[in-house]
Amino acid sequence: MRPVRLPPVLPAIHVCAGLVALSCLASVLWTGLEDRPVALAFGALVTLGELTRRTATEAREAAPLGAAGALAYALLGEDAGRPAQHGVAQTVTVVLAASLLGSVPHIARGGGPVLDQVARRVLTVAFAAVCFQPLSSQGVFRDWGGPAHALLLLALLAVTALCDAVLAAAPAHARTGWPFGPLLREELRGMVGITSAVCATGAVMALAVAVAGLWALPVFSVPLLLTQLSYRRYAAVRATYRQTIASLARATEIAGYTPAGHARRVAELGVAVGRDLGLSGPDLTVLEYAALMHDIGQLSLVDPVPAGATAGLPAAQQRRIALLGGAVVRQTGVDAAVAVVVERQADPCREQPVAARIVRAVNAYEEKARDAGPQGALTALEELRLATAGDYAPEVVESLARVLSRGRPGLSDPARAG
């Protein structure tokens, strides 16, 4: 199949970020650095934030302290009652230099920041600074009261967060071809969590430095550091939970009921199809867990199904295995929504929830393509298309075809898998 041609969003973002960074750097080199103590203090804060960056790839904001410090510097109008002298160019230059400096240890360990993250940081900070710094330097906000000033900063940060969400969703859409709308909704949903804490801390830092000076920075950095530590523990618990589910899913492989890696391949491909169909957040998590555990009902069978291939069994036997699997999932303490998907994967497709439709179609594709040789993928897809009248949802089969045509890395090839 011919790969889908992706829009040139990534190069455009990178070029824009590079032009902004180069122009700001040239301006600072020409005019010199203003308010050096303030620049060094905020630069050190951003560097510390990058040094404490989380390395997890799924992290929405991997360096919250660095992001909060960068936004606070962009929205800083005064330092202990004295008007700040730095402008947009210096703000971007200091944040970029500090981000790169703090990333050196991560780069040395092979876990440096992705170019997308650097471009997002440059563009979001530049946007916030452009909205605030020129008006602040002209004294527009000098007569604003405390509450009005705070509301202004929060409004600017909210708009900046929206821009950051777009900059995060656009590269993901360009790389994967997944629908932009669900990706953007997922990013906006994430603003309720760590992103809101980052924005609030950035606003408080800017207000506190304006009144108390640079001594306010370490004081207001502590709560975000504690929040980041708590988030790391929460992420560790989630990772352990997922590993537990993956271990349960491997029980059918260890017992010889299903081929090795079958559940993992169905989960990988199922999540990709779910994203293509617009699922996000908790719905994708339920889909992944259900795909991992979709065959666990086979453990209740006296005689194993040959090669664990349930797609060719009579409908009544498929439903029996699905109901047994749902009962097992409920006893493990996993989310009841996962058990529902496992139970209903063998129902008529028009009566199934979307996740169950995806699990059923992807499982059938993996079983049909697994031992069919080089042309197994095409043959399996054609068989699924011919069965869309009753067994498989047409929209799921077409989504599966789109995902496979992209040749996304990370998806196992069932024709080569053991």
- Separation of alpha carbons 300 and 326, rounded Å: 11
The residue type at 18: G
Residue 82 phi/psi, 5-degree rounding, is -100, 130
- Separation of alpha carbons 135 and 8, rounded Å: 34
Residue that wins the pLDDT comparison between 117 and 398: 398
For the segment 265-291, what is each residue's pLDDT rounded down to a tens digit?
999 999 989 988 888 778 888 999 999
Counting residues of the chain whose pLDDT is more than 90, the rounded percentage is 16
For the segment 28-74, what is each residue's pLDDT rounded down to a tens digit?
999 988 889 899 999 999 998 888 776 654 455 567 888 889 999 99
Going by their DSSP bridges, the two strands 82-83 and 78-79 should be labelled as antiparallel
The count of C-alpha atoms lying within 13 angstroms of the C-alpha of 27, restricted to the half-sphere facing its C-beta, is: 16
| pLDDT at residue 142, rounded to an integer | 65
| pLDDT at residue 270, rounded to an integer | 92
For the segment 320-366, what is each residue's pLDDT rounded down to a tens digit?
888 888 888 888 778 888 889 998 888 888 888 899 999 999 998 98
Q: Give the mean pLDDT of the chain.
A: 81
- The Cα-based distances of 74 to 37, 55, 102 in angstroms read 15, 26, 19
Q: Is 407 left (phi over 0), alpha (psi -120 to 50) or beta?
A: left
Residue 136's CB is within 10 A of a number of other CB atoms, namely: 19
Residue 400's CB is within 10 A of a number of other CB atoms, namely: 26
**pLDDT reading at 2 higher than 60:** no
DSSP 8-class letter at 34:
S
| pLDDT at residue 127, rounded to an integer | 92
Q: Give the bridge partners for 82, in sequence order.
A: 79
How far is C-alpha 345 from the geometric centre of its chain's CA atoms?
A: 27
Q: Is the pTM of this model over 0.95?
A: no
Structure tokens at 83: 């008007």
Domains of the chain with bracketed CATH: 9-233 (no CATH), 250-406 (1.10.3210.10)
